[in-house]
A and B are shown apart, each in its own frame.
Chain A
Amino acid sequence: MDHLTTTKHTTDTEATDTQQIAGQKRDASAITTISSRESSTSSGEGLEIRKESKGEGEAKRPKLGEEQTSSNRSDNNMTLIEETSMEGRQCFVTVGATAGFRPLLSEVIKPEFLNCLAISHFDLLKVQCGEDFEWFDEQVKSLPSSPVTIERFAFTENMTKHYIRSRGEKSVRMPGVVVAHAGSGTILEVLRLQVPLVVVPNPTLMDNHQAELAQELESTGDAVYGRLGKLTEAIARSLELVAQGPLKLKDLPPYSPPPFPVPDSERVTLFDWMTLTCYPDELRKQQHLQDLRNVEKSFQRELEQAKVPQRETVQDRRQRDLD
Chain B
Amino acid sequence: MAPTTSASVLTGKEESRNDQELKPDTRAETYSQLHVETVSGINLTAAAFVAGAASSTAAGLVLSGLSWPWLISLVITVGIVLVTFIVYRHFEIIRRRQKPGGSWLVPSNTPQPNAAGTQVPNTTSLPAVYFTYILGSGGHTAEMIETIKQSFRGQANIHRRYIISIGDTSSLAKARLLEATIKDAYPGEDARAGTSDIFLIRRARKVHQPLCTAPFTCLISAFHAANALTRMPNPRSTKDHGKGFRYPHVIVTNGPANGFIVCFVAHLLKIFYLVPENRAKMVYIETWARSKTMSLTGKLFLKTGIADVVGVQHESLARIFKGSQYIGPVSAGFLQR
Interface residues of A (CB under 8 A from B): 97-98, 182-185, 187-189, 191-192, 194, 208-209, 212-213, 216, 258, 260-262, 264-284, 286-287, 289-294, 296
Q: Decide if A292 touches B12 in the complex (CB within 8 Å).
A: no
Known contacts A184-B289, A261-B152, A287-B104: A274-B139 contact under CB 8 Å: no
12 further A-B contacts with Cβ under 8 Å, apart from A268-B150, A282-B125, A287-B104, are: A182-B289, A209-B292, A261-B152, A262-B333, A266-B110, A272-B111, A273-B109, A274-B308, A277-B281, A280-B8, A292-B114, A296-B115
B288 within 8 A of A: yes
B146 within 8 A of A: yes
Closest to B127 in A: A279
Q: Decide if A279 touches B142 in the complex (CB within 8 Å).
A: no
Which residue of A184, A279, A284 is within 8 Å of B287 (Cβ)?
A184
- The CA-CA distance from A260 to B107 in the complex, in Å, is 21
Closest to A281 in B: B19
Which residue of A192, A270, A292 is within 8 Å of B283 (Cβ)?
A270
CB neighbours of B98 from chain A (8 A): 277, 280, 283
Q: Decide if A185 touches B143 in the complex (CB within 8 Å).
A: yes
Q: Name the residue in A185, A189, A209, A260 with the highest tally of chain B Cβ atoms < 10 Å from its Cβ.
A: A185
Q: How far apart are B222's CB and chain A's nearest CB, in angstroms?
A: 24
Q: How far apart are A145's CB and chain B's nearest CB, in angstroms?
A: 38
Q: Decide if A98 touches B126 in the complex (CB within 8 Å).
A: no
Interface residues of B (CB under 8 A from A): 8-9, 12, 15-16, 19, 22, 27, 31, 35, 98, 102-105, 107, 109-112, 114-116, 118-123, 125-126, 129, 131, 138-139, 142-143, 146-147, 149-154, 181, 185, 249-250, 252, 278-279, 281, 283, 287-293, 295, 308-309, 311, 314, 327-328, 330-334, 336-337
Q: Decide if A274 touches B153 in the complex (CB within 8 Å).
A: no
Q: How far apart are B28's CB and chain A's nearest CB, in angstroms?
A: 9
Q: Decide if A271 touches B252 in the complex (CB within 8 Å).
A: yes
Closest to A208 in B: B293
Q: How far apart are A183's CB and chain B's nearest CB, in angstroms?
A: 6
Chain A contact residues, majority secondary structure:
helix
Q: How far apart are A138's CB and chain B's nearest CB, in angstroms?
A: 28
Closest to B295 in A: A209
Q: Decide if B149 touches A273 in the complex (CB within 8 Å).
A: no
- The CA-CA distance from A264 to B336 in the complex, in Å, is 12
CB neighbours of A213 from chain B (8 A): 289-291
Q: Decide if A267 touches B121 in the complex (CB within 8 Å).
A: no
Which residue of B19, B250, B291 is within 8 Å of A275 (Cβ)?
B250
Q: Decide if B281 touches A272 in the complex (CB within 8 Å).
A: no
Which residue of B110, B116, B152, B314 is within 8 Å of A289 (Cβ)?
B116
Q: Decide if B288 touches A184 in the complex (CB within 8 Å).
A: yes
CB neighbours of B126 from chain A (8 A): 275-276, 279, 282
Which residue of A184, A270, A275, A284 is within 8 Å of B139 (Cβ)?
A184
Q: How far apart are B19's CB and chain A's nearest CB, in angstroms?
A: 6
Q: How far apart are A195's CB and chain B's nearest CB, in angstroms?
A: 12
Q: How far apart are B115's CB and chain A's nearest CB, in angstroms?
A: 6
- The CA-CA distance from A263 to B311 in the complex, in Å, is 23
Q: How far apart are B270's CB and chain A's nearest CB, in angstroms?
A: 13
Closest to B277 in A: A278
Q: Decide if B121 touches A278 in the complex (CB within 8 Å).
A: no
CB neighbours of B185 from chain A (8 A): 260-261
Known contacts A265-B111, A271-B250: A183-B278 contact under CB 8 Å: no
Q: Decide if A260 touches B114 in the complex (CB within 8 Å).
A: no
Q: How far apart are A127's CB and chain B's nearest CB, in angstroms?
A: 21
Q: Decide if B115 touches A292 in the complex (CB within 8 Å).
A: yes
- The CA-CA distance from A192 to B327 in the complex, in Å, is 19
